[in-house]
Amino acid sequence: MNYDLLISFMIATSALAISPGPDNIYVLMQSLVHGKKYGIATVCGLMTGCLVHTSLVAFGVSALIKANESLYFIIKLFGALYLFYLAYKVFRSNAELSIDNQNIPKKSTSQLFKQGFIMNVLNPKVSIFFLAFFPGFLFSDTIPTIAQFYILGLLFMLVSFVIFGSIAILSGWISTYIKQHNNVGVVLKWLQIVVFVGIAIFILISK
């Protein structure tokens, strides 16, 4: 088992979770408007939805690899190109972070859990991202491929839950910091670009 690869996966996941995106911004806004436990409920829904995408990728990619191992390289190439594309999209995007908590309707924790789950499951970009991200971090020659995907999925969920949960708990401080530091959006924008490009290169050179 390649533990260094797992550690690299967790570091990459941490950087991705910290980088601003629709999910963590949504968690931040729910926590600001309704309170920390509502943000945590949203996080739980989002992370539970990741199980669905993990299953789709685990069984689909594993079947392809068993059918033809040369497809593994094609999958990794697709993944790297997709990550380069995401980096380009971030590069072209506006670096400004807008924290507008007006006109957000009040919802219960169960409603926010369900909404987070549905948001995640119905977003095909999550499955595409998992397909791009996970195959480059398969870490064992002896553990079944499906089991490896589920281990990666659970690690992804655990690391993301810790960071997203921290965003919910520290939402007030984070909001104040963003408003007081105009350049934080630029820093996070370039963090995303570096992370996407770095993971893409790693996937291309990994064996």
Kindly report, residue by residue over 85-130, the tens digit of the pLDDT.
988 988 888 767 666 655 566 788 899 999 999 988 888 788 888 8
* pLDDT for res 76: 81
* pLDDT for res 207: 63
Supply the pTM of this predicted model: 0.83
Kindly report, residue by residue over 163-177, the tens digit of the pLDDT.
999 999 998 888 888
Cα R_g (the chain), whole angstroms: 18
Dist. CA 40–CA 50, nearest whole Å: 16
In this predicted model, which residue has the larger pLDDT, 131 or 185? 131
User: What residue ranges do the domains of the chain occupy?
Assistant: 3-93+123-205
Indicate the pLDDT class of residue 187, thresholds 50, 70 and 90: confident
**68 φ/ψ sector (left φ>0, alpha ψ -120 to 50, else beta):** beta
Beta-strand ranges (E) seen in 22-95 are none
* pLDDT for res 173: 86
* pLDDT for res 202: 83
Largest CA distance in the chain: 54
Dist. CA 12–CA 203, nearest whole Å: 12
